[in-house]
Chains A and B, each alone.
Chain A
Amino acid sequence: MGYEINEEKVFNSGHAACPGCSEALALRFILNTLGKDAIAVVPPSCIAIISGPQPLSSMSIPVYQTTLEASAASAAGIKRALISKGNNHTNVVAIAGDGGTYDIGFQALSAAAERNEDIIYICLDNEGYMNTGTQKSSATPSMAFTTSTPAGKLSPKKNVPEIMVAHNIPYMATATTGYPDDLARKVKRAMEIKGGLRFINILTPCLAGWGIPDSAGPKTSRLAVQSGMYPLYEVENGESYTLNYGPNGLSVADYVTTQKRYRHLLAEDIELIQAEVDHSWERLQKKF
């Protein structure tokens, strides 16, 4: 996409992520794009582990660690306090997991979007509750194994990106770590647009939770896009859709067969997921 990543060092090495973790990579591009005039809000999640523990911090900006369901409200409280002091420049960013976003924190997120809170909300979506040992969240895709869905999840992934678009927020984007320039550009775009909640959902393959080798994060991330499981797109003001990267001929089988969380799938299961993906892509394509 021709975007040149411009990093200001905010995210530091020596953090506690699993070696090869996609979330650490995502945090690097998010924080180093945001720069030092920012305050982050982080709920319990792998992100909190990567950010802490006291007295250490991997992030050279103030980080407020909140409760699991409160990220959007906590970020909004900071922003309003800054506004009340006449500070309109500091970016306030909530960086939460998919459990903290799609499930327990969704009420606060939806409300902050409705109130046009001037915050950036980023979901690091590793498709499950990884910090507690890989349980299902509503971001877990169909048929994936988690420790709370040992026979595979029986319902599809909740479409939070489209739900956020339906809030008519100024900016919604999907991104993933296999496309770092696209990811960093979207953070930059979110910073440029002010006056409302900007939401970015970032797919971050989890090594342990998905059953992939330490070196496979970026490759898995790219397969998710190329198979059509996770198209990269952005939407401004709830209606102006732009496709960045979509499926390029790879199939769901190409994606799922590299991950242990799908190893129980039969050929017909994969076909069912393929049909689901084809259907979603067909619906999404009409919007570009």
Chain B
Amino acid sequence: MKADSNRLLLSGNHAVSHAVKLVKPNVMPVYPITPQTPILELITEFHAAGEMTGEIMTMESEHSAMAAAITASLTGVRVFTATASQGLLLMHEMLHYAAGARAPIVMFNVNRTLGSPWGFWPDQTDSLAQRDTGWIQYYCENGQESHDTTLQAFRVAEQILLPTMVIHEAFYVSHSMEAVEIATQDQVDAYLPEFNPPHRLDPQIGESWGNTVSQIMFQNHRRDMGDAMERVLDVAKKADQELEELVGRGYGIHEQYRCEGAEFIIVTMGSMTGTARDAVDELRSEGLPVGLLKIKLFRPFPVADVREILSGIPKLMVLDRNYAPGTGGILYQELKAALYGLEGAPEIHGYLAGVGGTNISPANIKEMVHSAMGEKPVAHSVWKG
């Protein structure tokens, strides 16, 4: 049953703040950075107005924000923070530390270019560069999805005990205004059980964390983290379905758009997906068998699903709004690895499109599809604008 409508005109960032308010974190360490700042500002406004309780910590750096987030989480309470770009990179040491500590922090990251030189533009390199830190990562394409996914993230993080990053891009999503359906408090209370972990920093319990371990203890701990990551795939699918039952909106951990009978699939992540949908519609109306696969859950990477979906498809075109000098597009690398050895694996065109925040239109994507259709792919990413 769908609850009463609760639609507001919101920026992508404010859609996130509304989700955080409903989730009622106990501790929220914050630090400003464009284009994340509106997320924290609305949270502190809610707090000042008495609409949210909990401890706001106005930290002196993102490094300290993540340090405090970890210990607050290990003390057994729900924790949220948000960052972007340089702030995320400053946290890097603590991102690994959080995952190792199995601290189910939820953090929102707004993708922005990394200096130097300075820029403020949408580019996913900041969060993709954290792909090996042990954080679960979700990429969202609009404010509604960011709102709903933030709710899901708490559910998944707290069940799995791994920190979770929800991500959308600068400006295209963070500052664009759209009608967003806000979940109700009753829905969220029904969706998210209280977080009350049995293991926590508590003198009554006496457990500690972080002590030096032996080689094999370290290895076993890393294996446990890997096992937890594997469980994420099912838990995340379920968390999405359960939210859908309550609010009527679901996304899956990936989405196939018009893939029936497709002989060519475009693969995207984040805001580019909406543009690619338009391009697919136009290409389909031209009679071309083109579909779209959106990757939403990037960590853990849904390898088995992707192999199943893409088996027998002759050609893929991966669009990367990120760039790792020396290897190219990161989604492209991940897909090639995921499809390795698959019988009837598709040919893959890896295109760098929108790196640095340049605008990619449906027409640009159509052009790329046309040229990819007539070419053999090369073994590396190709710049497309």
Interface residues of A (CB under 8 A from B): 36-39, 41, 48-49, 51-55, 57, 60-67, 69-70, 72-78, 80-85, 90, 107-108, 110-111, 114-115
Contact = CB atoms under 8 A, between A and B. Distances in A.
A287 B57 CA distance: 34
Contact of A73 (B59, B203, B211): B59
B75 A37 contact: no
B77 A84 contact: yes
Contacts of A114: 60
A76 B28 CA distance: 12
Contacts of B210: 63-66
A39 B74 CA distance: 12
B63 A69 contact: yes
Contacts, number: 139
Nearest to A35: B203
Contact of A37 (B60, B64, B69, B203): B203
A-B pairs, top 8 by smallest CB distance, nearest first, are: A65-B210, A77-B68, A111-B60, A81-B75, A77-B71, A73-B64, A70-B67, A84-B26
A61 B67 CA distance: 20
A206 to B, nearest CB: 20
B212 A52 contact: yes
Of A41, A49, A80, A81, which is in contact with the most chain B CB atoms at under 10 Å from its CB? A81
A38 B202 CA distance: 8
B205 A81 contact: no
Contact of A108 (B26, B58, B67, B69): B67
Contact of A70 (B63, B77, B211): B63
B378 to A, nearest CB: 42
B206 interface: yes
Nearest to A114: B60
Interface in B71-129: 71-77, 79, 93-94, 97
A115 B57 contact: yes
Given A39-B203, A62-B206, A65-B211, A78 B63 contact: no
Nearest to A55: B211
Contact of B201 (A52, A62, A76, A110): A62
B59 A53 contact: no
6 contacts: A62-B203, A62-B209, A65-B208, A74-B68, A78-B71, A81-B77
A53 B213 CA distance: 6
B67 A73 contact: yes
Given A64-B210, A77-B29, A108 B203 contact: no
Contacts of A108: 60-61, 63-64, 67
Contacts of A77: 27, 29, 57, 67-72, 75
B70 A74 contact: yes
A64 B208 contact: yes
A164 to B, nearest CB: 15
A90 B67 CA distance: 20
B336 to A, nearest CB: 35
A70 B67 CA distance: 6
A111 B205 CA distance: 30
Given A60-B206, A64-B209, A114-B60, 4 more contacts: A67-B67, A77-B67, A77-B75, A85-B77
A57 B64 contact: no
A184 B26 CA distance: 34
A39 B208 CA distance: 9
A59 to B, nearest CB: 8
Interface string B39-63: 0000000000000001101111101
A62 B202 contact: yes
Interface in B201-252: 201-203, 205-214, 217
A34 to B, nearest CB: 10
Nearest to A59: B208
Contact of A63 (B73, B79, B208): B208
Given A38-B203, A74-B67, A80-B68, A65 B209 contact: yes
B60 A76 contact: no
Interface in B308-346: none
Contact of B61 (A38, A66, A107): A107
Given A73-B68, A77-B69, A39 B212 contact: no
Contact of B71 (A41, A57, A84): A41
Nearest to A48: B212
Contacts of A37: 203
B211 A111 contact: no
A53 B64 CA distance: 25
B211 A51 contact: yes
Contacts of A38: 203
Contacts of B76: 81, 85
A52 B68 CA distance: 22
A64 B77 contact: no
A91 to B, nearest CB: 9
A84 B52 CA distance: 12
Given A74-B71, A77-B72, A85-B26, A52 B211 contact: yes
Contact of B211 (A53, A67, A90): A53
A287 B86 CA distance: 43
B59 A111 contact: yes
Nearest to A108: B64
Contact of A78 (B75, B205, B207, B208): B75
Contacts of B57: 76-77, 80, 115
B64 A70 contact: yes
A202 to B, nearest CB: 22
B254 to A, nearest CB: 34
Given A37-B203, A54-B213, A81 B27 contact: yes
Contacts of A41: 71
A54 B217 contact: yes
Contacts of B75: 39, 77-78, 81-82, 85
Contacts of A55: 211
B333 to A, nearest CB: 30
A116 B29 CA distance: 15
Contacts of B74: 64, 78
B214 to A, nearest CB: 8
